[in-house]
Structure 1
Amino acid sequence: MTGGAPAADGDRGNHNAHYHRVVLDALPPGARTALDVGCGEGTLARRLAERVPDVTGVDLHGPSLDAARAAGGGVTYVEADVLTHPFPPASFDLVASVATLHHLDARAGLLRLAELVRPGGRLAVVGLARSASPRDLPYEVAAVAANAVARRRRGYWEHPSPTVWPPPATYAQMRVLVAEVLPGGRYRRHLYWRWSVVWTRPAA
């Protein structure tokens, strides 16, 4: 799906949207605040706003934020770099990031996102990485096959935000980094060239 009028949220099917459920399932009970890092056109932020009273989306791409604001949904959008914007530490019950971390220095990004999570809150990241070992081959084969089927059945919405491909880090590197930076985080490898981690910040 490309060109023409902006797609409705229900028509924005792609690999990133497929894994929004990882973020939504990670919402801590009673969450009041959430931050969507690299929110783009705001599709995930609007879904979060259906469950969380105070949602902020942050992104560097002005045109994507213009589209997000035009779509409404009660989300506050900030055009900024999450690494340097003065969000107070420990200020969100949920910090989410989908397909954004590979645009940043991965270590600095994970540390910054974790810093923004309140004690007892959660960080949910869906990231991209590249294959670099024979262990990755089964995932690659499965992803190619699943992608072909999904595109035939549902089509594919190409978002207008900037992209980075190939991702700079491998899956093995990200697994090691996540274990180091987010001890106790639940790392998973997924189809469609994605990995995820859900981490709960220890209560004070």
Structure 2
Amino acid sequence: MPFDHNDHYHRLLLRRLPEEGRKKGREEGRRALDVGCGTGRFARRLAARGYTVDALDPSAEVIAEAEAMGGGPRYRRADVTATDPPEGHYDVITCLASLHHMPFATVTRLRAALAPGGALLVLGCYAGRTRRDLVAVPANAAARAAVHVSDRLRGAARPPLQSPVRQPDMTLTDIRTEASRLLPGSEVRQLLFWRYLLTYNNA
């Protein structure tokens, strides 16, 4: 069924964009990097907020579909682990369900690309199950059923192409330990649907 766990958290991520731009209405001209952008759904939401968005993904197939959808971001086929983003350049860097496809230490490369006052926002996946995940099972089933019924009633077209899926190998405890070591001052918050939100602000 077409319920997307990552899309579910788009609004949460948008609320975590750097405060200065939102409060003063100066988002125009601000720069964003979306790592592992897939077909560009979140990159387009950033562009709609006035950000100039560089959207990277290593899959030629999903980049082609993202470009076909348009919407403003500058899409590029690239592997961020083999690419050096410009240092101190981006006001916000986002990484949705893609960090577990690369070494966790890649966050240091992303941190270096943040402008002063910029934010790194990682919506990530973790391995294993916690007590809180028991709540996610019925919530997940209900959400998937609701989206399925809604799509059938609307006669929705086929869902967009999905990026390759890989199971994460770091537990939530591992992630918190490494985030504390590599990104001092960062916050890791557990979410429903087997996700976490890592937030780092470049003071």
- TM-score, normalised to structure 2, is 0.86
Superposition map of 1:97-116 within 5 A: 97-107=95-105, 109-116=106-113
Question: Which is further off, 190-199 or 14-23?
Answer: 14-23
Aligned to 2:181: 180
**Which 5+ residue runs of structure 1 have no aligned equivalent?**
2-11
Aligned to 1:141: 134
Q: Could you tell me how far apart the structure 2 residues matched to 1:73 and 1:62 are?
A: 18
Aligned to 1:122: 119
How far apart are residue 67 of structure 1 and its match?
0.6
Cα gap change, 1:88 to 1:68, in 2 (>3 Å)? same
Question: Which is further off, 186-195 or 123-132?
Answer: 123-132
Contact 2:186 2:201 in 1 (8 A): yes
SS in 1 for 2:83: coil
Superposition map of 1:151-166 within 5 A: 151-155=144-148, 159-165=161-167
Deviation sequence 1:83-111 (CA, Å, 0-9, x none): 2223211110000001000000112x111
Opposite residue 191 of structure 1, the aligned amino acid is L
Deviation sequence 1:151-183 (CA, Å, 0-9, x none): 111139575211102x11111100111111111
Cα gap change, 1:22 to 1:179, in 2 (>3 Å)? farther
Contact 2:3 2:144 in 1 (8 A): no
Opposite residue 67 of structure 1, the aligned amino acid is E
Opposite residue 162 of structure 1, the aligned amino acid is P
Aligned to 2:61: 63
SS in 2 for 1:122: strand
Question: Percent identical across equivalent pairs?
Answer: 37
Deviation sequence 1:29-67 (CA, Å, 0-9, x none): 234000100000000000000113311100001110101
Aligned residue-pair number: 186
Opposite residue 182 of structure 2, the aligned amino acid is V
Q: Could you tell me how far apart the structure 1 residues matched to 2:176 and 2:112 are?
A: 19
Q: Could you tell me how far apart the structure 2 residues matched to 1:179 and 1:86 are?
A: 23
Aligned to 2:42: 44
**Which 5+ residue runs of structure 2 have no aligned equivalent?**
152-158
